[in-house]
Amino acid sequence: MRIGVLTGGGDCPGLNAVIRAVVRKGVAEYGYDFVGFRDGWRGPLERETVPLGIQQVRGILPRGGTILGTSRTNPFKIEGGVERIEATLRDLGLDALIAIGGEDTLGVAKRLYDHGVNVVGVPKTIDNDLAATDYTFGFDTAVTIATEAIDRLHTTAESHNRVMVVEVMGRHTGWIAVMSGIAGGADVILIPEQPITVEQACSEIRRRHERGLDFSIVVVSEGYELTYDSGERRLVGEQARETDQFGHVKLGGVGGELAREIEERTGFETRVTVLGHVQRGGSPTPRDRVLATRYGLKAADLVDEGRFGRMAALHGDDIVDVSLEEATAELKTVPPEWYEVAKAFFG
Ligand code: F6P
C-alpha cells in the first residue's frame, strides 16, 4: 500500500511525533510506502510532495512544528479542488491518506471521505476543542507553556502590586484558559463559554484587594467576548473582519482591552501579556509525545484494517476510533463543571 500523509491548520507540538509513529509502524509492520504532502491540503492540490520514510523521521520525536509544513488551505473553496486532489491521489498511486489536523482539516477529510477518498484522521490542536476525543495532542504543551508564564507573572505582579492580564489562545473555547488558570492559581478566568461580565471580574479583583492582597492574575481566552452588565457583548478581533479560508475571524487583542477596563474601573495598575504563538512553539511535553505516538500507531492500524472515515481518539486512557463525522459535528466546549473548579478560587 502507498499512503499519503499531511498536516493541516495551525501547527502544534507533537505533529512530528505522529508522523514518526505512522511511518515507523507503517513501514515495519505493514510494509507501506509513504508520500508526504507539503503544507496541508495545498500539497495534494498542487501535487507538492516530499519523501517520507524511516530516514526522514529519524530524530523528529522531540521537535516542534511539522516536517511537512502546514497551511489553512481549504480545497472546497477552490474551483475544482476536490477533483484535483482525487487526481493527485490517483496519479501517485495512493491507496489512502492520513490527515493530521483540527476541526477544519478533519472537516475537509470527512467531506473527501464522502466523495469516496480513503482517509483516516488524527486529532491535533492546542485548543482541545475537537469533539469525540478527550484530548487532542498539543494541548498539554500549550497549557504547560501558559502555566509557566502565569507562574512567572505572579512574582512580578506581586513585586509591583499590579493586576496582570494574560491572554491565551483557544479560539472559541476556553480550555487553555481554564486549565492553565487552575494550574497557575489565577484569580479570575474569562472564557467564551461562561462569560462573566467585566464588572463581575472587577468586583472579584476588588474583593481580593480588600482582603489585603494587592496583586491579581487574570487569565482571558482570546475568544472571550467583552461582556457587560448592560447586556452588551463585543468580540475583539471582529472589527478586522479578516477571515481565513474556513471563515474564522482572526482573534487576539481582548487582553489589552480588558486590562484598560480593569485599570479604569478599579484604579489598580494593570499590565497585559499576550502569549500568542509561543503557546504553539517548541518541543512537546512527554504527555503530548506519548499521546501523539499512540495516535500515529492507531492511524496506521486503521489504514491496515481499511477503516476509513475514522479518527484516532482518546477515551479515558484508551486509544479508540470514532467517525470523522462525529469528531467534526460540533466543537467541544468547556463544561460548567470545569468552570466551577476555576471559580472556586476567584477573588
Ligand atoms: O487553532 C489553533 C490556534 O492557535 C488558535 O488558538 C488561534 O486562534 C489560531 O490558531 C491562530 O492562528 P494563526 O496561526 O493563523 O495566527
Give, in order, the Cα–Cα distances in Å from 164 to each of 146, 154, 219: 13, 8, 8
Q: What is the pLDDT of residues 67-98, one digit of tens each?
A: 999 999 999 999 999 999 999 999 999 999 99
| Residue 244 CA, closest ligand 1 atom number | 15
261 contacts 132 by C-beta, under 8 angstroms: no
Q: Which residue, judged by its Cα, is nearest atom 11 of ligand 1?
A: 10
The yes-or-no answer on residue 127 being catalytic is yes
- pLDDT of 241: 59
Chain segment 215-256, per-residue pLDDT in tens: 999 999 999 999 999 999 998 876 555 688 998 888 999 999
The one catalytic residue in 11, 127, 129, 187 is: 127
User: Could you read off the pLDDT of 166-193 as tens digits, one per residue?
Assistant: 999 999 999 999 999 999 999 999 999 9
Q: Tell me which residues have their CB closer than 6 angstroms to ligand 1.
A: 10, 102, 125-127, 169-171, 222, 251, 280
Q: Which ligand 1 atom minimizes the distance to the CA of 102? A: 1
What is the average pLDDT value for the chain, to the nearest integer? 97
Atom of ligand 1 nearest to the CA of 72: 15
Q: What is the pLDDT of residue 216?
A: 98
Q: Label residues 83-101 b or e (16+ Cβ within 10 Å = b).
A: ebbeebbeeeebebbbbbb
